[in-house]
């Protein structure tokens, strides 16, 4: 009803995509669904697909996924709101995530995040007015030996400082080339979402680029393969404490 819309109440049901956009998405969706024995298993990549169209999972995107997979919008929304990689409001071209989990935090992640908030003039999960950068503190991305880590559209920027992170976002906003520490070259958030939906990255050299883990991350694997000798660590004991080598006294001792 017109009165409801003017008061800011969302239109029900959600509006649909334009016909040409929906036709294109339906073609892509069928390709995704064909990879799974059960259509509903395709929900996660379909959410990435609609996110690649609008830059976030809108109510229209939820409607598309629900109708395509014969689910309720409640079922789709439950999944879209559970996983943090799905944005629920328009985002910037570059999602800058600062790890603030324990190791990155104590190594400087908290300082980087606070500095970027002041430098960009935005808070957590907010986007700069020019639509270029969305800033967010994120959970561990399994790169602790490179702490503190910043990720841009899920590509790694290792061993960061407030100064290097500030220079990096300035380059992003200015349109200058920015290269991750390792991994594929940067692309926009929407392009990244399409790749996460399972479609090939057709940029030259992008597939060949690899990230690679650091020495600390690979130590356990190298031990398992016998590439380095195992080191036996003997626990320290307090004076007078049992060491595990004592034996019960024999008769006559």
- 100 and 137, same domain (yes or no): yes
What CATH number does residue 74 fall under? 1.10.10
- Structure confidence at residue 234 (pLDDT): 76
- Structure confidence at residue 49 (pLDDT): 97
Count of structural domains within the chain? 2
| β-pair partners for 126 | 135
| Residue 56 structure tokens | 């976030």
Torsion of CA 135, 136, 139, 144, to 10 degrees: 30
- Considering the domain boundaries, does residue 64 fall inside one? yes
Domain termination site, one of 82, 102, 134: 82
- Considering the domain boundaries, does residue 35 fall inside one? yes
- Structure confidence at residue 242 (pLDDT): 57
CA-to-CA dists, residue 111 to 114, 143, 149, angstroms: 5, 18, 12
- Considering the domain boundaries, does residue 233 fall inside one? no
- 67 and 103, same domain (yes or no): no
Question: Taking the alpha carbons of 136, 137, 143, 148 in that order, is the dihedral positive or negative?
Answer: positive
- Structure confidence at residue 206 (pLDDT): 72
| Residue 205 structure tokens | 């050299």
- Considering the domain boundaries, does residue 120 fall inside one? yes
Question: Distance between CA 29 and CA 26 in Å, rounded?
Answer: 5
Closest CA relative to residue 83, chosen from 117, 123, 43 = 43
- 101 and 176, same domain (yes or no): yes
Question: Distance between CA 156 and CA 139 in Å, rounded?
Answer: 14
- Considering the domain boundaries, does residue 14 fall inside one? yes
Domain termination site, one of 82, 108, 141: 82
Domain range for 60: 2-82
- Structure confidence at residue 237 (pLDDT): 73
- Structure confidence at residue 114 (pLDDT): 97
What CATH number does residue 160 fall under? 3.40.30.10
| Ordered alpha helix ranges (H), the chain | 2-6, 19-33, 43-54, 59-69, 73-82, 102-104, 110-120, 162-174, 189-196, 215-224
Place of tokens 């559970």: 82
- 114 and 65, same domain (yes or no): no
- 104 and 142, same domain (yes or no): yes
Averaged pLDDT, groups of 10, the chain, 253 residues long: 49 86 96 94 97 95 96 96 93 95 93 97 95 94 90 94 97 94 90 94 74 72 79 72 53 55
pTM of the entire predicted model: 0.79
- Structure confidence at residue 6 (pLDDT): 45
Domain termination site, one of 82, 117, 147: 82
């Amino acid at each position: 009803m017109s009165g409801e819309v003017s008061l800011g109440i969302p239109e029900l049901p959600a509006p649909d995509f334009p016909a040409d956009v929906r036709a294109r998405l339906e073609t892509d969706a069928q390709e995704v669904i064909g990879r799974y024995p059960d259509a509903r298993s395709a929900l996660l990549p379909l959410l990435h697909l609609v996110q690649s169209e609008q830059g976030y999972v809108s109510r229209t995107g939820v409607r598309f996924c629900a109708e395509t997979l014969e689910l309720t919008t409640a079922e789709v929304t439950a999944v879209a709101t559970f996983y943090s990689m799905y944005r629920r409001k328009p985002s910037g071209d570059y999602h800058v995530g600062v790890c603030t989990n324990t190791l990155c935090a104590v190594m400087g992640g908290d300082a980087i995040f606070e500095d970027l908030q002041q430098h960009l003039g935005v808070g957590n999960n907010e986007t700069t007015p020019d639509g270029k950068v969305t800033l967010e503190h994120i959970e561990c991305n399994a790169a602790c030996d490179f702490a503190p880590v910043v990720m841009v559209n899920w590509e790694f920027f290792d061993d960061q400082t407030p100064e290097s992170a500030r220079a990096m976002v300035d380059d992003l906003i200015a349109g200058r080339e920015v290269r991750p520490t390792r991994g594929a070259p940067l692309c926009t958030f929407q392009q990244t979402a399409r790749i996460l939906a399972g479609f090939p990255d057709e940029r030259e050299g992008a597939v060949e680029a690899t990230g690679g883990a650091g020495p600390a991350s690979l130590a356990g694997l190298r031990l398992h393969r016998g590439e380095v000798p195992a080191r036996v660590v003997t626990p320290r004991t307090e004076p007078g404490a049992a060491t595990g080598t004592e034996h019960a006294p024999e008769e006559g001792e």
